[in-house]
Amino acid sequence: MRNVVDGLIGEVFALCRENRAGELADYIPELAAVDPDSFSLCIATSDGYVYESGDADTTFTIQSISKPLTYGLALADRGLTAVAEKIDVEPSGEPFNEISLDPVTERPRNPMINAGAIAAASLISGDDPAQRFERLRRCYSRYAGRELTLDDAVYRSEARTGHRNRAIGHMLRSFGIISGDPDAAVDMYFRQCAIGVTCRDLSLMAATLANNGVNPVTHQRALAPELVERVLSVMTTCGMYDAAGDWVTQVGLPAKSGVGGGVLAVLPGQIGIAVYSPRLDAHGNSVRGVQACRELSKRLELHSLNVTRPARWATRPIAAFGGAPSRPRRGPADRDSLEKVGRRARIYELHGDLLFAGTETAVREITDQSGELEAVVVDIRRVDDVSGIAGRMLADLHDDLDRQGCQLALVDPEGLLGHTTSELVPAAGGRVFVDLDAAIEWCEDTLLERHCAGDRLPESITLAEHPLLSALTAEQFDGFAHGLEIRTVNRGETIVRRGDRAAGIFLILAGRVSSTLQGSDGAVHRITTLAPGMTFGEMPMLVDDRFLNDVHADSDVRLAVLPPDRFARLTAEAPGLKVALLEGLAAGAYAQMEAAIRSLAPRGRLG
């Protein structure tokens, strides 16, 4: 299912598709015959999900993008020290096919230019050329997550015209960099460049490097972590040839290009990027590939040096709920409905820093489930920082969900997304709440408005309709009502405070009240919210003790209060009435306990 990330990538794809600058690599006849306007853009995440735009399954040859992979295999076969004796790791500042060595070390300047790549190919272990190439092909296949094959036509075309590379090979042999047959090393290099890949393959190769050398789909290890670090370091400084400085400043990602039109870029720990477009610039880099990576880096804030403090990964524990998990006590019809449809709402808790990759994972997870959902809460209370692209992605997610008939709310007490009220803010993505319980209550109300066909709790009731009195006889009711005080309380007023003496049994006839506690952190935490037909104050009175919490009026409230002295006199004056009241209070207390248990279990607080 497409999500907001597809839209972001689609914008970049559409922008770059209009760019038809550059020329094909016509010095290799087979490369000069490809469709010059073929174009694809893929992003693979560190868990193996691939976003695709364009001709993602078009096969082309990997060419110089093979160089970091061969270098990594050479490091694995020979070790860091042995390879360093043959190949340096310094930027050359010269074209990729320059016939030269470092004048001081007399070694190729790095493994990303042809001289260094041919030297690396000569270091691959094996009993004969066929075995060495097969090891190389299997290595590339582990990165891609599928079996890759040689494009024989491109190989033969390169072998027929690769005289400059043969000259480089013989130069390396004359300086002792290659100890065996230089033509065999050059032929290995021609073959590695002619392995066929798709843009999707390249994105997964990049994601394998981003994932510390483990393919995120097959979970096969392609390269040891300490060697991945070495390979990415050289790609950062040398992967884009004599345009490396401009690349690092504008894109800021380890990368490698190939004259076949491919570009591979890596954001370590997060994503792999691949572009295919065969028109090349003067440096031998794909014109659209460079432009697309520059746009993605800017729009998605991917530059690897764009970190203002140590980054923290964004996680997404997910909670679904059913039953009645919010603080308000629900009536039977509400509870029955929520039992049936509660899983159509879901809570997503995000942690750490919300950068592109972490937000992408959450957005993808939510989008994949959105067909089954009608209300979503994104809780960012444990988020430390929100990047600009993350804010846009969440806003776009709200719009996408809204079109599907699914509403989204945020829990954002610190206003990290720039909104600090519980108002409907369309530009921010719906309602914004300061605590999770209020957001869950909103979820429930959203579902109940759509699905509850039974009798819901009324906004107000008469005294005779109060459930506590439903079992009383007419005579008992008259005796009870005679001793009641009717009170009205304005919204926001405190009805009782923590530490107050028992003040009677409070029967709610209209409005809503909440019991709250102030935590050690100074924050006020809601315990429960009560509606018409419910009671409070009975426990302090029954045990003759003080209130353990505050009770506030959430709206204008009308109460019927049985004072403590009147309740005490019932023992002598109307014992049957008192027993009936106690039974009703016990039933209410049990229902409240059941609701509390059901509110905890769906949030993972109970085993």
Phi/psi-derived region of residue 110, left when phi > 0, alpha when psi is between -120 and 50, beta in every other case: beta
Q: For residues 167 and 201, state if they share a domain.
A: yes
Whether 198 and 228 map to the same domain: the answer is: yes
Non-local CB neighbours of 486 within 8 Å, separated by 6+ positions: 558, 559, 560, 561
pLDDT tens readout for residues 66-98: 999 999 999 999 999 999 999 999 987 677 778
Domain for residue 306, yes or no?
no
* pTM: predicted TM-score of the whole model, two decimal places: 0.76
pLDDT for 425? 41
**Domain end call among 402, 423, 451:** 451
- Say if 243 falls within a structural domain: yes
Give me the mean pLDDT over the 138-165 stretch: 96
Whole-angstrom distance, CA of residue 278 vs CA of residue 62:
11
Task: Please report, for the domain that includes residue 428, its CATH number.
Answer: 3.30.750.24
106 located within any domain: yes
Does residue 309 lie in a domain region? no
Q: Which of 431, 428, 273 is nearest to 356 (CA)?
A: 273
**Residue 424: predicted pLDDT:** 37
Neighbours of 572 (CB within 10 A): 8
Least confident of 37-41, 78-82, 439-443, 508-512: 439-443
CATH number of the domain bearing residue 32? 3.40.710.10
Q: Stretch 110-123: mean pLDDT, rounded?
A: 96
Mean per-residue pLDDT, 322-333: 61
Residue 110 has what pLDDT? 94
Q: What is the pLDDT of residue 309?
A: 46
Closest CA to 507 of 480, 528, 525, 475: 480
Contact by Cβ (8 Å): 323, 335: yes
How far apart are the C-alpha atoms of 562 and 486, rounded to whole Å?
A: 9
Rounded to the nearest integer, the mean pLDDT of the chain is 87
Q: Is 59 a member of any domain?
A: yes
CA distance 202 to 266: 11
Q: Report the distance separating Cα 400 and Cα 445, nearest Å.
A: 21
211 and 62 within one domain: yes
The more confident residue out of 545 and 273 is 273
Confidence band for 426, pLDDT divided at 50, 70 and 90: very low
Domain match, 275 and 405 both: no
Looking at the 3D structure of the chain, how many domains does it have?
3
The per-residue pLDDT for 601 is 52
Pick the closest to residue 275 from 46, 62, 42, 50 (CA basis): 42
Q: Give the model confidence (pLDDT) of 445-459 as tens digits.
A: 889 888 887 666 788
| Contact predicate 408/430, CB 8 Å | yes
Among 9-18, 27-36, 593-602, the range scoring the smallest mean pLDDT is 593-602
Boundary (domain end) residue, out of 451, 481, 508: 451
User: What pLDDT was estimated at residue 127?
Assistant: 94
Q: What is the DSSP letter of 457?
A: P
The whole domain housing 527 covers: 463-603
Whether residue 288 is found in the same domain as residue 345: no
Q: Judge if 248 and 112 occupy the same domain.
A: yes
Distances (CA, A) of 565 to 326, 503, 508, 546, 569: 35, 10, 20, 16, 6
Note whether 24 and 80 are same-domain residues. Answer: yes
pLDDT at residue 329, rounded to an integer = 66
pLDDT, position 186: 97
What tokens were used for 16? 């770059």
560: domain CATH number is 2.60.120.10
State the Cα–Cα distance between residues 323 and 339, nearest whole angstrom.
4
Helix (H), strand (E), coil (C) string for 146-208: CCCCECHHHHHHHHHHCHHHHHHHHHHHHCCCCCCCHHHHHHHHHHHHCEEECHHHHHHHHHH
498 and 400 in one domain?
Answer: no
**Same domain? 40 vs 141:** yes
What does the pLDDT average to over 2-16?
94
**Residue 588 located in a structural domain:** yes
Residue 500 lies in a domain: yes
Question: Tell me: the pLDDT tens digits for 457-509?
Answer: 788 999 998 988 887 888 889 888 888 999 999 999 999 999 999 999 999 99
3-state secondary structure 328-372: ECCCHHHHHHHHHHHHHEEEEEEEEEECHHHHHHHHHHHHHHHHH
How far apart are alpha carbons 513 and 526 in whole angstroms? Answer: 10
- 79 and 201 together in one domain: yes
Residues 274/264, Cβ–Cβ less than 8 Å? yes
49 lies in the same domain as 157: yes
Same-domain check for residues 356 and 430: yes
244 in any annotated domain = yes
**End position of a domain, from candidates 240, 268, 299:** 299
**Is the pLDDT at 156 greater than 60, yes or no?**
yes
